[in-house]
Amino acid sequence: MFLHASRSQEYRTPFGARPTDGKVTLYFDTPVDAESITLCYTYGLYGFSYHEEPMCLTETMRDHKRYSVSILLPHEPGLLFYWFRFRLPVSNQGFPHEYDGNLGITEDTKSATLFYVAEADTQDGSGRIYYEPPRVGVDEDKYPYAWQITVYDKHFVTPDRMKGAMIYQIFPDRFSRDKDFRFTEMINASPREERVYHDDWYEDVDIEGKPQTGYLACDFFGGSLKGITEKLWYIKNLGIDIIYLNPIFEARSSHRYDTADYLRVDPILGGNEAFEELADKAKEMGITIILDGVFSHTGADSRYFNKFDRYDGIGAYRSFKTGEESMFRSWYNIYYTEEGEIAYDSWWGFPDLPNVDENNLSYRNFIFGDNGVVDTWTRRGAGGIRLDVSDELPDSFIRQMRDTLKNRTLGEGILVGEVWEDASNKCSYGSYRDFMLGRTHDSVMGYTFRTTILEYLQGYITAKVFNARLEGFRERYPAESYYCIMNLISSHDVPRAFTLFSKPENKETREEQQLISVPQEEVTRCTQLMRIAYALQIGYIGAACVYYGDEILMDGYKDPFNRRPYPWGRLKQNQRDQLEFVYTLSKLRTEHDVLRTGYYRTLFADDDVLAFERYMKPDGTDAFGKTMKKGSKSIILIVNRSEKVRGFRIDGEKVEEIPKKITDCGKDYITHDQEVAVPPLSFIFIVR
């Protein structure tokens, strides 16, 4: 047999991502007739060189041999990829069937060179035999995989308050008006002809815009920071430690990703004083505020670009057009087309979002210098920054952001990046990115977590594949980052999970998408799936991030329908029931430290059922060697995606299925019993 399993301590130790200057020992089992066993590897970040290490025979068994090699990891952070090469004799009868097949090998030589490479979605990280080696960084989809060791800075640490935190994401215009709201005051705060102002909080979002401008996402409902401050009691009751606010800086649109003034809270939201009051009140309640920072581009309608001359001073656009001096001119790439028209680089071609040159030193001084953006907002009470489109920012910019934020917060500031793919090996602009190496982000948004959960709960992948994919991420991310990853189910950029669980047919126009909602006959099933999703957020490693309204089953397909106002005072009975459920489950994480920073192990995974345990060591310490202060030493979560009851017995560190119903747990989501029946489309937390 051939075997290397990267997630097994028997074949790779220590597990997972490792610090610089550390050591890793690798083991590889081969049939007795295999020869010339070699470890092949390459490492770096922006460029790779190829290396080989002969492996030593460690043990000989009746039917196979075990080889090993220990390697000293690089001194510089980067990615190390490895695989195995060997030679296998060819007998007169050709290759044994298990090695033959489509390897492209003929029998005209005495032996053949083969490779043992990684394979996707295996439970233990085992691989397969292949006739070609991986080609790291070159058309990787066309070639076999290599195993990855993420080598991160050995001094890398993340804020403890982010590890296993409970996060609440708020789209500010749609969460809550304050009790003193006046419709005319909203209009007067920032009057513009292209805007649509909603007097009625409960009417639907605009999809048409004003005739002269068309749809620009410029409709406003009057949600404010003071409105959020008044609802802090509600947020705290959800067990929330951190509030992540979508952009609050002054901007033309209601989503505010077209920043107009980095140093000023939008007047409709209440201005700078409203933010400072929110930050102060939240701090008193033990809640940290993370701000959304958009630094790859600004708005065309901003005091920096000022395309429409709405701001005082000379913006970059007018400076280019007239030759007048502007301190912002060098931030943008503006030019004349062959037809003599003014053009400029913009984000994904949207003219309302001119790109900024993040390597421009004037721009960097504005962001990172004294009294700059980071300095100003940390002084005003921000406890962290979420970087919009991190993969479109230079690594050096993010490293400077990290250093600046940490220096101004005594190391406690939280830096999260928007990365939709596996951040440990994300490629953009021709190279792997410095995202999980301890020099840029603390962690990233968990879109990979969301995708994996939705695919599992909708029946597109099995529990085995679900487990294999999450184990792959856990293997590749440093623990300091993985325990901080912002695991989400919905967000402002994707359809709400409740809606997706009904598997709606995709529609192209906003008029069609506006009508998409969960059919009445699907409400119960979709509610059950939402509850399982939330249980997985609570039970699994990382920071559980709830998008406002998910706790009450808000419906909504793509933008802007995933950004509807929270229906205060009009909750239906099923929404109130869901809210009580969320209250109950949130207490598990707030009352049991093991769900925040405890160790993790998978106990059971088949087609429909997944079971895993969060636990501490016998001495009461967590995954970071710290003593846990409160709660149980072990909590097991069993998820049943199937349509039938599944019975289980907890035997020590094992979960064994019993093919009969043991007890009816009903709606008891938390139990101390060691023998349980998990209802269809449900779950059980076993607190031990």
List strands edge to edge, sheet with 646-651: 654-658, 646-651, 675-678
Query: Among 583, 637, 630, 687, which residue's Cα sits nearest to residue 239?
Result: 583
Q: Is residue 1 part of a domain?
A: no
Cβ neighbours of residue 175 under 8 Å, at least 6 residues apart?
A: 223, 227, 228, 231, 548, 565, 566
Which of 566, 585, 604 marks a domain boundary? 585
Q: Is residue 3 part of a domain?
A: no
Give the integer Cα–Cα distance in Å for 89 and 597: 49
Question: What CATH number does residue 75 fall under?
Answer: 2.60.40.10
- Is residue 398 domain-shared with residue 320, that is, in the same domain? no
Q: Is residue 285 part of a domain?
A: yes
Beta bridge partners of 451: none
- Is residue 550 domain-shared with residue 646, that is, in the same domain? no
Task: Say whether 361 sits in a helix, a strand or coil.
Answer: helix
Q: Is residue 157 part of a domain?
A: no
- Is residue 305 domain-shared with residue 397, that is, in the same domain? no
- Is residue 325 domain-shared with residue 385, that is, in the same domain? no
Instruction: Calculate Rg over the CA atoms of the chain.
Output: 27
Number of domains in the chain: 4
CA torsion sign for 482, 484, 489, 493 is negative
Give the integer Cα–Cα distance in Å for 582 and 547: 13
- Is residue 537 domain-shared with residue 609, that is, in the same domain? no
Task: Say whether 538 sits in a helix, a strand or coil.
Answer: helix
Which of 317, 339, 357 marks a domain boundary? 357
Is the peptide bond prior to 74 cis by the omega test (within 30 degrees of 0)?
no
Question: What CATH number does residue 259 fall under?
Answer: 3.20.20.80
Query: Among 676, 686, 615, 611, which residue's Cα sits nearest to residue 646?
Result: 676
pLDDT score of 137: 64
Q: Is residue 159 part of a domain?
A: no
Mark out the alpha helices in 129-247 (DSSP H runs).
Answer: 183-189, 225-230, 232-237
**pLDDT under 70: residue ranges of the chain:** 47, 91-110, 137-143, 660-667
Query: Among 43, 5, 79, which residue's Cα sits nearest to residue 478?
Result: 79
Give the integer Cα–Cα distance in Å for 511 and 207: 8
Distance of CA 658 to the CA centre of its chain: 36
- Is residue 367 domain-shared with residue 476, that is, in the same domain? yes
**Nearest-10 Cα torsion for 114, 116, 122, 126:** 140
Which of 127, 152, 177 marks a domain boundary? 152
Residue 286 sits at φ, ψ, to 5 deg, of 75, 25
- Is residue 574 domain-shared with residue 610, that is, in the same domain? no
> Any idea which residue has 């962001």 for tokens?
367
Write down how long the chain is.
688
- Is residue 243 domain-shared with residue 326, that is, in the same domain? no
Q: Is residue 349 part of a domain?
A: yes
Question: What CATH number does residue 625 fall under?
Answer: 2.60.40.1180
Q: At what angle do helices 463-476 and 447-457 cross, to 10 degrees?
A: 170
Q: Count the neighbouring beta carbons within 10 Å of the beta carbon of residue 206.
A: 21
Give the integer Cα–Cα distance in Å for 396 and 374: 16
- Is residue 375 domain-shared with residue 273, that is, in the same domain? yes
Beta-carbon-side half-sphere exposure of residue 408 (alpha carbons within 13 Å): 27
pLDDT score of 44: 85
- Is residue 144 domain-shared with residue 175, that is, in the same domain? no
- Is residue 309 domain-shared with residue 363, that is, in the same domain? no
User: Rounded to two decimals, what is the model's pTM?
Assistant: 0.95
- The catalytic site residues sit at 388, 418
Assign 3-class secondary structure to 380-403.
Answer: CCCCEEEECCHHHCCHHHHHHHHH
- Is residue 655 domain-shared with residue 522, that is, in the same domain? no
Q: Is residue 158 part of a domain?
A: no
Beta bridge partners of 143: none
Give the integer Cα–Cα distance in Å for 252 and 299: 8
Query: Among 468, 455, 428, 427, which residue's Cα sits nearest to residue 606?
Result: 468
Burial (Cβ within 10 Å: 0-12, 13-18, ≥19) of residue 101: exposed
Q: Is residue 590 part of a domain?
A: no
Q: At what angle do helices 447-457 and 523-539 cross, to 10 degrees?
A: 140
Query: Among 255, 323, 264, which residue's Cα sits nearest to residue 562?
Result: 255
Strands (DSSP E) contained in 266-362 are 288-293, 334-336, 342-344
CA angle 321, 323, 327 (to 5 degrees): 100
The tokens describing 227, both together, are: 């409105």
Domain that holds residue 71: 12-152
